[in-house]
Chain A
């Protein structure tokens, strides 16, 4: 029931955003929105709400604090790719990292983050939530040890993912 109400409210807010045109909404728009949001919320309640972790406002504050860092890293990643496109200097390889995250939400945040940040692209994930990362510029010091170190590959992103997702 709570899942249904949460997803219906989400759908209704999205409807209000999409139908806003500079004036207040008319009564007919509001009524149509409530009916549509109820149908869509009922259909999607098991997909949108799996557990109630996202109800904690602390996660949203951490997420907002994470965004500027994320966009900065994304801009850096683009100049990195630009350099490699123009010079053709690559040394690719697939490495396995064990960030030690416990929830699916955290590993999703981490995987999406490292795909958009410099030189790395997540390829696969296994049952113990180890990530396989395609790295475009493999450094030698990481290859020596077998549980690979996270730090040179994805800097401090596992800490942020832990704060947001656990």
Chain B
């Protein structure tokens, strides 16, 4: 079993405050997790509006029953799983036409000193959208959330090896699509 991450501890702290102070403390939890949850949900729903609905539904549920989260051993993976379930529900229910072709639904922000990188960021997001959702979400959880394959497997309810192989296939595809951008990046 992997130990809880520092971010998970922060989520637990925010949830404990929520349980003690009621719905007024939801703002703290929102500020802590919303950006991460939205970018994860976007990989499942392929649409930011749907992703935000999923995040909102999950957080409202947490505000209603904060003990759901505060009593779990790893609140952050648990919250990710809640958002995943909400995202899948919304994605199945709405069946929007695919928005893979562009990123027009995304609300993006780029710092002034990163404007040169914007095209690269767009290419990365576009490449992630072209992946199957099952593979894209493993990439997001692995790279952006820095989770282990064991934790990812718990969230996705698949064996750890399945999560690892999905990641491997996704990285193969991404390396082909993002080859020009990778060549521009100096040695990591």
Bound pair: A and B?
Answer: no
